Structure 1
Amino acid sequence: MIRKLTDHDHEQVLAFLSEEQSINLFIIGDIEAFGYSSETQELWAEFDESDTINAILLRFHQSFIPYAKGEFDTNGFASIMKEYSQPILLSGSSDIVEKFETLDDLQLGKKQVTYFAECRTNEFLSLDNVEYKKATIEDVDQIVKLRETIDEFHVRSDARDILKQTMESNASRTYFTEENGIVTSCVSTTAENSMSAMIVGVCTRKEYRKKGLATSIMQHVVQDVLNEGKTLCLFYDNPEAGRIYKRLGFKEIGMWTMHR
């Protein structure tokens, strides 16, 4: 049986998700930030005969993330997603997402597969004295404008609204460098929750590259988040970026697929 989740399910939901807290940081973070009754998100779960959760589906704005530990009602979740606009924006652990890719009547967005890595130690960090700032709401437009200049980035039309909302709910932070009032490099977190945080938006304006700005900022972000007792996670598909992340202490724990 699939039904929509409410506050009354929270304890069981968190116990189910926490067994793989890094993989589920988006779902956990959105629940902690926005709960079960927000206009921007909804959650459903499949329950077995003993009322135990088998799988969970999150809708955040127009994006969906499924999670399961075994077989689940793929068609049931697909029916929910099809009630919203297509193509469907779907992401999650690759072995789970691929179950939806076989459904002929489900129109998915463009596919991207990335490595999923996590960091639990600061022993490989080498902090420097780069001058950086922590972004406020007033900096959102500049941060999004920088991201829009990065060829590899897919910046959604609602990126400003999402960044502002996550910053206001303390689910995101951004550190950046600037010169003459222009943001030159930045690193963000997203889906921050009580257990983990995801590194995203690592980028540098083209004319300021090869100076180590993003790496310097990122080390400060990693140190600050680890100091709060959280695990850091990130995606990457660029081997050069992967080598940098591994030198900072990140280790691969799986693959992550996005249809955007």
Structure 2
Amino acid sequence: MIRKLNQFDHEQVMGYLAKEPSFNLFIIGDIEAFGYESDFQDLWGEFNESGQLIAVMLRLYSSYIVSSTGGLNVNGFAEIINSDEDFYELSGRDVVVEQFENNVINCLGKKTSTYFCELVTEDYVHNRHYEKAALKATLDDIERIVELRLQISTFSNKNSREGLLKMMESGISRTFYLEENGVMIAAASTTAENSQSAMIVGVCTLADYRNNGYASVCMSALCDEVLGEGKTLCLFYEDPAAGRIYKRLGFRDIGKWNIYR
């Protein structure tokens, strides 16, 4: 049975999501931020005959995330998505959302698949001593963070000052960085932070300063602080070479994440 979720389901929902806090990071964060009654957000749950929650789907505006532990009623969830004339994006763990590929969703869109890896405290390899120490960014550093990201060709253009300001003010994003002569030369950030987990994004170094381990300095400082708060860290990557950098810190692949847009 699939039905809308509400505040009365919260304990059961969070218990289900906590089983895989990394894969469910976005859903957990959006529930904590916006709850069950927002105009721009809805949640549905699938329950088995014993009343156990076995799948959750989140709608944030016109983007959907599906999470399932098995027995997913693909057609039932697809019917909900197909009723949204503004449907834009579907994402989730590959083994879950690939079930929607067989012409179930109207205009599913282009597929992007990335590696998904996770870091927990017991796996963390605290990195070696560095000559430079990473600094924690404040709201006064937002312009410099944006400027640094704009110089990285592989980054998207989703680096607006207003968006970053909102995320830092709300506590769902933080950044550690290195500077030289007043110029920010490397950084690593989190996004979508919630009470259980955080996503690492924006790991970058200016071209003239690469191959010096500067991104690793920022990553180590970030990992130290976030893991010290009892949270799990996770990230996406597409390039296996980039993946090796993260694995030196103790990150391990736990699956793949697909986005259909």
TM bucket normalised to smaller: 0.7 to 0.9
Q: Which residue of 2 aligns with 1:136?
A: 138
Is residue 128 of structure 2 the alignment partner of residue 126 of structure 1?
yes
Describe the shift of the 1:19–1:186 C-alpha distance in structure 2 as closer, same or farther (beyond 3 A).
same
Q: How far 1:127 sits from its partner (Å)?
A: 4.4
Describe the shift of the 1:186–1:66 C-alpha distance in structure 2 as closer, same or farther (beyond 3 A).
same
8 A contact 1:115–1:236 mirrored in 2: yes
Q: Distance in 2 between matches of 1:135 and 1:61?
A: 30
Q: Which residue of 1 aligns with 2:250?
A: 249
Is residue 29 of structure 2 the alignment partner of residue 10 of structure 1?
no
Q: Which residue of 1 aligns with 2:69?
A: 69
Percent identity between the two aligned chains: 50
* Structure 1, gaps ≥5 residues long: none
Number of equivalences: 258
Q: Distance in 2 between matches of 1:153 and 1:107?
A: 26
8 A contact 2:81–2:105 mirrored in 1: no
8 A contact 2:188–2:203 mirrored in 1: yes
Q: Which residue of 1 aligns with 2:167?
A: 166
Q: How far 1:12 sits from its partner (Å)?
A: 0.5
Q: How far 1:181 sits from its partner (Å)?
A: 4.8
Describe the shift of the 1:39–1:23 C-alpha distance in structure 2 as closer, same or farther (beyond 3 A).
same
* Residue type at the aligned position of 2:243: G
Q: Secondary structure at the match of 2:28?
A: helix
8 A contact 1:92–1:257 mirrored in 2: yes
Q: How far 1:147 sits from its partner (Å)?
A: 2.9
8 A contact 2:75–2:104 mirrored in 1: no
Q: Which residue of 2 aligns with 1:150?
A: 152
Q: Distance in 1 between matches of 2:185 and 2:109?
A: 31
* Structure 2, gaps ≥5 residues long: none
Deviations 1:13-62 (A, max 9, x none): 01111112222122122222332234453322123344432211112344
Q: Distance in 2 between matches of 1:48 and 1:161?
A: 43
CA RMSD of aligned residues (A): 2.5
Q: Distance in 1 between matches of 2:176 and 2:40?
A: 26
Alignment of 1:49-198 (within 5 A): 49-82=49-82, 83-86=84-87, 88-103=88-103, 105-120=105-120, 121-156=123-158, 160=161, 162-179=163-180, 181-198=182-199
Q: Which residue of 2 aligns with 1:228?
A: 229
Farther off after superposition, 42-51 or 159-168:
159-168
8 A contact 2:124–2:251 mirrored in 1: no
